[in-house]
A and B are shown apart, each in its own frame.
Chain A
Amino acid sequence: MSIMKIERKRGEGMSNEGFDVIVVGAGVAGNVAAYLLGREGLQVLLIERGNYPGSKNMTGGRIYSHSLEKIMPDFAKEAPIERKITREKVFMMTEKSSIGLDFQSSLLGTHGSDSYSVLRGVFDQWLAEKAEEVGVEIVTGICVDDLIIRQGKVCGVIAGIDQIESGVTILADGINSLLAQKAGLRKEFKPSHVAVGVKELIELPAELIQERFQCNENEGTACMFAGFPSDGRIGGGFLYTNKESISLGVVCTLSDLIKGQKALPQLMEDFKTHPTVAPLIKEGKLVEYSGHLVPEGGVEMMPKIIGDGVLVVGDAAGFCVNLGYAVRGMDFAIASGECAARAVSKAYQGGGYSEGDLQVYRDYLEESFVLHDMKLYRNFPKFLETTPRVFSDYPKLLEGIMTDMFVMNGQPTQALVKTIMKHINKVGVLKITRDAWKGVRSV
């Protein structure tokens, strides 16, 4: 349906001045903002450039449920989620080895603090249906090219020859948000603040996944890998179990990836053939190959998120935290969508959408975990950037210790402490202590 048709549809019996709210982008942030405002009775138009909500969206794989749970209690019973994650694995990996931590616990599946593997092409469609049910108008296949800006105030959107007015516009158009740039809210993100992820979706029968990952039906595992997947550079590998597939991928910080020797598609291929990974995906069938950017710069990269008649949410605002063992983007996106909806609703009641009227958006973000956590982990991206040893020397150090501990070849062995110190001294006790201290303080 074109925007013009939407206009005509609205023309019957309604004011023809456009919508109260236009949301650009039907990812999780945009859908949630639209849903909440539609539920409040505002006239909301949600515009998606793909042929259906989710068709341009991609995730590594896991949503922490808490923020959506607050908005749609028990959503996981109805939504097309894949598996509940009840097992967490973190690995240091070298070319030949992997040394892992395995945490399996019923505490991971507790209602309200559980997490699920998801596939966005499916999940976002469901979320958009929820928005549609409360009266949100959704148009797909329309790319918003520009914003209508009058005297510095965003007054709607421009798509091709169509212009459509709104009281306020919510930019949920993803990490590349060209619209936030056009609104003068942000400059280009730096390569050190952005990571690129590549993912293969590999089909496997559900029973085989349950056997290989030792999990119950509908339950699954999340695995993170540091070291080898990114060829010793800043980044890592990930694996999430879905119902009948595995999401396997590699993420690398752009500024560091371009200093290396291996191209990202090759890193992905080598990760697949690693002795730890290959048996997990054996006989699997690749069905989709995807790529996406991840905002990883924390508050340092945050653009201006409030303007006259405009708010920025989700990836477009850089809301994401990657701690290596846990990657959080969707729960931040959803909470930011909620904060934006609350702010717009309040401004609507107050009668205006000036930059001042919309300042409550920031207050709501400050009160929620979104800005709190973004600030708490503000030094972590810098820590990784300045401590490349995490991805290179430390996996090798652990491999060395483990090899001396577990490989018996008939040679006289040394005392364990001596063995460990031998490997630690290769990197340097001081360096390790300093890195550990820096690391602990940054999280």
Chain B
Amino acid sequence: MSTMNVDAKLSLNKFYVNEEYAHIVLNRNAETESSEFRKLMLACPAGLYKQDDKGRILFDYAGCLECGTCRILCGKTILEKWEFPQGTFGIEYRWG
């Protein structure tokens, strides 16, 4: 199995990150509902839902592909909100 760094792949994409405003926010349950968080670790195509060595959860909306996977899976459990980024922000597919 080859080692894979999805961040390196995402770095090839064109993103206009809105540093001021997070369009996806986890709620407090995200820390404790590990089975819910695990779903997102498996299914997020951008691999944005991670755990560090100590098992603490990590999430950064900056590389979001705006697919909606996390919304469908955990919109009612561990997501505080899921919105589209504000106009002009977010992923910009040059080829798509």
User: Do A and B truly interact?
Assistant: yes
Shortest beta-carbon distance from A119 to chain B in Å: 4
Assembly CA distance A15 to B85 (angstroms):
33
Q: Which residue of B2, B67, B94 contacts A196 across the interface (Cβ within 8 Å)? A: B67
* Chain A, 264-291, CB within 8 A of any chain B CB: 264-266, 268-270, 272-273, 286-291
Q: Is B46 an interface residue (CB 8 A)?
A: yes
Of chain B, the residue at the smallest CB distance from A143 is B87
Q: Is A432 an interface residue (CB 8 A)?
A: no
* Chain B, 25-50, CB within 8 A of any chain A CB: 38-39, 41-47
Q: What are 28 A-B pairs with beta-carbon distances under 8 A?
A: A55-B92, A55-B96, A56-B66, A56-B93, A120-B96, A121-B93, A175-B68, A178-B83, A178-B84, A188-B72, A190-B72, A196-B67, A200-B9, A201-B95, A245-B95, A258-B39, A258-B42, A258-B43, A263-B43, A264-B42, A264-B44, A265-B4, A265-B45, A265-B46, A265-B47, A266-B4, A288-B12, A293-B72
**Which residues of the other chain, B, contact A191 by a CB distance below 8 angstroms?**
72-73
**Which residues of the other chain, B, contact A175 by a CB distance below 8 angstroms?**
68
Q: What string of 1s and 0s marks CB contacts (under 8 Å) between A231-266 and chain B?
A: 000000000000001000000101001101011111
Check B13–A293 contact: CB distance below 8 A.
Answer: no
Q: Is A98 an interface residue (CB 8 A)?
A: no
Assembly CA distance A38 to B39 (angstroms):
44
Check B43–A264 contact: CB distance below 8 A.
Answer: yes
**Which residues of the other chain, A, contact B69 by a CB distance below 8 angstroms?**
196, 254, 291, 293
Check B9–A289 contact: CB distance below 8 A.
Answer: yes
Shortest beta-carbon distance from A116 to chain B in Å: 15
Q: What string of 1s and 0s marks CB contacts (under 8 Å) between A186-218 and chain B?
A: 001111001011101100000000000000000
Assembly CA distance A420 to B63 (angstroms):
49
Check B72–A194 contact: CB distance below 8 A.
Answer: yes
Assembly CA distance A263 to B50 (angstroms):
11
Of chain A, the residue at the smallest CB distance from B43 is A257
**Which residues of the other chain, A, contact B93 by a CB distance below 8 angstroms?**
54-58, 120-121, 288, 290
Residues of B that sit less than 8 Å from A by CB: 1-2, 4, 6, 9-10, 12-13, 16, 38-39, 41-47, 65-69, 71-73, 75-76, 83-88, 90-96
B interface: dominant SS: loop
* Chain A, 148-172, CB within 8 A of any chain B CB: 159
Shortest beta-carbon distance from B60 to chain A in Å: 15
Check A49–B84 contact: CB distance below 8 A.
Answer: yes
Check A269–B2 contact: CB distance below 8 A.
Answer: yes
**Which residues of the other chain, A, contact B6 by a CB distance below 8 angstroms?**
265, 289
Assembly CA distance A268 to B92 (angstroms):
21
Of chain B, the residue at the smallest CB distance from A55 is B92
Given contacts A51-B88, A188-B72, A289-B9, contact A119 B67 (CB under 8 A): no
Q: Is A401 an interface residue (CB 8 A)?
A: no
Assembly CA distance A188 to B71 (angstroms):
9
Shortest beta-carbon distance from B74 to chain A in Å: 10
**Which residues of the other chain, B, contact A142 by a CB distance below 8 angstroms?**
87
Check B96–A54 contact: CB distance below 8 A.
Answer: yes
Assembly CA distance A190 to B83 (angstroms):
18
Closest 3 CB pairs of A and B: A291-B45, A121-B96, A120-B96
Of chain A, the residue at the smallest CB distance from B3 is A269
Shortest beta-carbon distance from A371 to chain B in Å: 24
Q: What string of 1s and 0s marks CB contacts (under 8 Å) between A40-80 and chain B?
A: 00000000011100111111000000000000000000000
Shortest beta-carbon distance from A189 to chain B in Å: 6
Shortest beta-carbon distance from B53 to chain A in Å: 17
**Which residues of the other chain, B, contact A141 by a CB distance below 8 angstroms?**
87-88
Of chain B, the residue at the smallest CB distance from A195 is B69
Assembly CA distance A252 to B73 (angstroms):
13
Assembly CA distance A273 to B45 (angstroms):
18
Given contacts A49-B87, A55-B93, A287-B12, contact A269 B39 (CB under 8 A): no
Assembly CA distance A252 to B69 (angstroms):
11
Of chain B, the residue at the smallest CB distance from A287 is B12
Of chain A, the residue at the smallest CB distance from B63 is A289
Assembly CA distance A7 to B1 (angstroms):
56
**Which residues of the other chain, A, contact B92 by a CB distance below 8 angstroms?**
50-51, 55-56
Check A56–B90 contact: CB distance below 8 A.
Answer: yes
**Which residues of the other chain, A, contact B87 by a CB distance below 8 angstroms?**
49, 141-143, 159
Q: Is A413 an interface residue (CB 8 A)?
A: no
**Which residues of the other chain, A, contact B75 by a CB distance below 8 angstroms?**
188
Of chain B, the residue at the smallest CB distance from A47 is B87
**Which residues of the other chain, A, contact B41 by a CB distance below 8 angstroms?**
263
Assembly CA distance A262 to B45 (angstroms):
12
**Which residues of the other chain, B, contact A194 by a CB distance below 8 angstroms?**
72
